[in-house]
Amino acid sequence: QSALSQPRSVSGSPGQSVTISCTGTSSDVGGYNYVSWYQQHPGTAPKVMIYDVDKRPLEVPNRFSGSKSGNTASLTISKLQAEDEADYYCCSYGGSDTWVFGGGTKLTVL
């Protein structure tokens, strides 16, 4: 069971949109609609932003959206704001009652 693949870093200017990818296999991302995304600011615990591929908790702004195509899931953040600067991690069900995380992506708001 290998970690999901994410770009190490992405960046964007305020007001722009960015997309973070999360690539797995047919045994995890591609096999189930159980992908979630977490935002982590330095020194704090991760916070769920998207779950079950495209569901958004009530407290998360609708600027955050999720999708999946094949073995790759994506998190899109529109209308970037300074407070969006953080690390983002994807997580997928890996089968056999196991879960796997991505390596994380550092988002820089320019």
Partner 1 sequence: QVQLQESGPGLVKPSETLSLICTVSGGSISSTYYYWGWIRQPPGKGLEWIGSIYYSGNTYYSPSLKSRVTISVDTSKNQFSLKLNSVTAADTAVYYCARRIDGTSHYTWGQGTRVTVSS
Binding residues for partner 1, rule: CB under 8 A, are 1, 3, 34-36, 38, 44-48, 51-52, 55, 57, 89, 91-93, 97-104
| Cβ proximity of 47 and 59 under 8 Å | no
Calculated CA dihedral for residues 38, 63, 84, 37, nearest 10 degrees: 10
Residue closer to partner 1 by CB (options 47, 63) is 47
Distance of CA 73 to the CA centre of its chain: 8
Residue closer to partner 1 by CB (options 80, 89) is 89
Query: 98-101 and 47-50: which strand pairing?
Result: unpaired
Nearest-approach distance from CB 63 to partner 1, in angstroms: 19
Nearest-approach distance from CB 9 to partner 1, in angstroms: 13
Residue closer to partner 1 by CB (options 35, 80) is 35
Nearest-approach distance from CB 81 to partner 1, in angstroms: 23
Residue 90: both structure tokens together: 């994807």
74 vs 67: CA distance, rounded Å: 5
